[in-house]
Structure 1
Amino acid sequence: MTASVAGLLGGEVPAAVAGRVLLHAGYRRAARYRDRVDAAVGGLVLAGPGALARAGQPREEGFEAALLVDEAGYRDAAATEEAPFPAVDDGPAPLFGDPLEHQMLAHLAFADAALTPTGYLHAGQVGALEAAVDRVRRLGDPRVVLTVPFDVHWLQAGSLERLADALGRYPGPKALIVGGGAADVPRAVSGLVRLVERVPGAGVLRAGLSAFGCVARGGGFAAFGADGSMRRTAPPAPKDEGSRGGPGSPAVLFPDLMEFFLGFTLAKRLADEVPDCWCDQCQGASLGRFHTMAEQTAAAGHNACTLTDWVRQMCALDAADRGAWWRRRCRQALSSYAVWNERIKEKRFAAPAELAAWAELPVPKTGAQQVR
């Protein structure tokens, strides 16, 4: 099956993903989430080396929602001025044409748009960024999304303006991926919002709460990481071959607190106070039932259903009302930490800095957001 050539809204956002919050998942685990995606408002981003080779399988099995492929080459190599797309620039050249064009056409055999395999953009690497922009602009294909995996330090004053100016030179769709280590979270969130405002229609991939926050404030589209590894990225580093083992229970989204906790942790802390969940997966079952990894598929279904419900709520609102809705939702979750900590009287839940940052951001002025 080949993807249809998606039209563009406003010349910047592929219609197949416009206004949507997709799930960003490793391609090996995508089957856990596929049946819980709402084709009207969501979709999947298949991630990781090898994802492109497996992209046809969902289509062959009847998956009709939006689909993108993120080969995540930015985790292995940085962009340079000579090779902004290391995965194709450092490999054998095709006999004819641009290797980037060949790769993008391979994506479009199954995906609704093609994400460029841009290398990681370390802070200050303006030449590498401009080289990526120029290459994609020369392709002249509106189905190609300029993917920009950049270090969080680009969001500082001065650097942010240079980043926005460079991205403004490409008239087609763009997707942002924020990488790097610990940072001033409130400043990073506000910087990302400013960047989305400066780059109309930009998407935000491999994100946490910022996926919803950016779309609620006028971003073109987004992808929420289905697990912790998909809600962050880091600069390329030597492979660590050592095994640290894994958790003994799956990560579970606690809707009241808008945060993930290990299932065992939820069950232990909440004890007799554990609530029932009425998402499409749980249907009234206890939220404390995900004790071991034997429940990881059910936990993934719960997470996806909960996130999908948030997307539906957001998409039901006028675009101008979504920023206020998102801040109100974050503030309500932030206040719920005190309520739950009082109820359990044991080890307390700590609110994530990202939630607090979104709760404190001022509501955008009416009309500032563009309806796409």
Structure 2
Amino acid sequence: FAPSQESTRSVLRVATEDELADRADSLVAQSATLIGQTAEYLADDDMATRLGAEQSLLAQAAASLRAADGLLAIVDADGGETTRSAGAGRPSAGFDDLLALIDGSLEEIGAQVEPEPEMTRGGANTTPADLIETADDAIRQVVAGVGTFARGTVASLVGLDPALLKQAAGMLGSELSQALTKLGENVTRLVSKAVAFIVQAYDSLLAALGQDAASALRVQAAEWVEKLQQGEALTELADALYQTDDMKLRVAALIEGSGAPGPVLGKTQSDVEALSPSFQSRIKLAGQIRAGLGLLKFIPAAKGPLELATGVLYLALLGYVVVAGADYVDAPRLARIGRVPGVLETIQTGLIPA
């Protein structure tokens, strides 16, 4: 199915609506297979492989949204029923992105992960006080990253009806396609294929999040929406979710009571310093998905169902970032993905003999 990029672009420039729709169907089917295959690597014993699988799923979600946007741009260029911003691209970029992911070897998925800071390097001598400060900084950076991302996501949700957001929160973890059954027959075939890519982006994100975490987020997301709508500060909300004050006290007590020598403290400090850049690499991909979502709010012929779908995707994305952050700070009472050791676990591993 996968021709060269040059030939693919050539075909897409002259393809009929039926040819594009058939190509989209084939891509959606292959991409669905890839989601299932990639998700199996999320439980791998090797952390790099787990993160590689997760990042592949996030990249696939972003590519699916770009493919959807490209199809909608063609509808607009042909005088169809959608209103798109000027300069929107054709679907070849999104299609090519998906083709590249599908053609990539799953055996190399661990190598596809964005390079993580080395967490086994040696460190200079340091003191308990310095390690405590480093741990506090790592926690603050994760909380700040979550707060910044949440702020941007909430800004994207401003135009959506509050009641719709509450409905969307209750749908987390369910099949999004069920919410789009009211599309009916009043949309073109290309619009329906764009919708299929939007649903697949959600499926990719749900796989990255994990079904257990997604289900747990249903109640939590509804509470977040209510608090954010009431004007609660995002950083304060993240602090409360992660119980950061309690976590900092636990970290300090562990370090001070360990009696570990300077070189061991230094190596552990290096490992803790690597956590924030690792988290930022996940935030970066989440930002690409959010950017794609920003193009998909208004499709007049199917505005209601697709606004609901957009709300679900935004909340799932926000939930992913919050839960990923919980991994890095070892939040004690929040649903977690459990794919990386957080601040507390890293310090325990570094200071306490096995």
Instruction: Give the TM bin, normalised by the shorter chain.
Output: under 0.3
Give the TM-score normalised by the residue count of structure 2.
Answer: 0.27
Give the TM-score normalised by the residue count of structure 1.
Answer: 0.26
Structure exhibiting the larger radius of gyration computed from Cα positions: 2
- Whichever structure has more helix as a proportion of its residues is 2
